A = this chain, B = another copy of it.
């Protein structure tokens, strides 16, 4: 299922953008050429906008640097992080496609146990196009996969599943560890290929990593905000986690599915654990209050769009996490700004009458 076969007609070619945040030349794309070249790329250049990012020949792409972001969003650009890969979510906002795949520029093509190159994007598309089963656990994993099904005792009324909003892929080689774990286990490498895709059950939170991630923009895009990180902010490396917690509670509320497992990419480079520790330490501390918050969040029935859910979540963040640190007041404001900017760019502004507070800037 995760084989390297390149389809003659790449699936969803005109319905999917690949979003890549970067500060360097994109040589890593050479390795992905057989799989990515048919797709459109959205490159979000972080850091110094005067620097030129080289993109290998033959790729179809648009590139945004900080000047572009400021020009396009005006004062609302404040919601897009700078000097942090959280800036990638700007790419989600300017995409006009139904699906987004985002990947880090230190992620290479992994091999399956038979030695074949894994077409990660193809597997993500499979994951997104077939349903999820968040209400009951299937012990043989993805019941829709070839050779698998629902096991005895799985309620028949739940076998249609629900639409899949998110496909979270994994990493061989360098595992996605926090700084303390990196420091304690500097040599640990992930070599275990687990041949499974599964739905994360309703009501269960998970650590969503942004390194190898696909989602249905139409179903969940506005919740994929990567928060305020990096330059001028007290934390980093919690951008994807924040997006994952927000996304999961909204998916649970709206009856959408989140999958994790295949595909693997090969993560080449461990980031510096000392630098990471500095970025993470407040997050590690705050997280102990964030998780109970997200575990107990309840969204009112009237929240029937992602935008409405997200603005309601922002209100609750401000009210309940504002006490943890002033940062969360700022983050809650940025969450609202993000939705306003999303609606402006996506012509979904009509829905913004759900915004209770008007422009936050």
Contact = CB atoms under 8 A, between A and B. Distances in A.
Nearest to A180: B156
Contact of A203 (B178, B201, B244): B201
A206 B157 contact: no
- Per DSSP, chain A at the interface is loop
A298 interface: no
Interface stretch (A22-30, A44-52, A96-104, A140-148): A140-148
A204 interface: yes
A284 B156 CA distance: 8
B176 A209 contact: no
A219 B113 CA distance: 38
Given A140-B175, A195-B193, A204-B136, A188 B149 contact: yes
A181 B150 contact: yes
A137 interface: yes
Contact of A168 (B139, B170, B196, B288): B139
A86 to B, nearest CB: 14
A153 B244 contact: yes
A269 interface: no
Interface string A287-328: 110010000000000000000000000000000000000000
A177 B196 CA distance: 19
Interface in A193-214: 193-196, 200-209
Size band of the interface chain A makes with B: 35 or more
Interface centre among A154, A193, A209 (most CB of B within 10 A): A154
B152 A205 contact: no
B192 A155 contact: no
B152 A192 contact: no
A152 B137 contact: no
Given A149-B185, A244-B153, A284-B156, A136 B195 contact: no
A227 to B, nearest CB: 13
Nearest to A291: B155
Nearest to A283: B153
Given A203-B204, A288-B157, A151 B136 contact: no
Contacts of A148: 175, 190, 192
Contacts of A189: 147
A248 B253 CA distance: 23
A123 interface: no
A229 B280 CA distance: 55
Given A137-B204, A140-B190, 19 more contacts: A136-B206, A137-B200, A137-B260, A138-B206, A138-B207, A139-B170, A139-B207, A139-B209, A140-B175, A150-B177, A151-B176, A153-B209, A153-B240, A156-B180, A156-B284, A157-B288, A158-B291, A201-B203, A202-B204
29 contacts: A136-B207, A136-B291, A139-B168, A139-B170, A140-B170, A140-B175, A147-B188, A147-B190, A148-B175, A148-B190, A150-B181, A151-B176, A151-B178, A151-B207, A152-B176, A152-B178, A152-B181, A152-B209, A153-B240, A153-B287, A156-B284, A156-B287, A156-B288, A157-B288, A194-B195, A194-B196, A201-B203, A203-B203, A204-B204
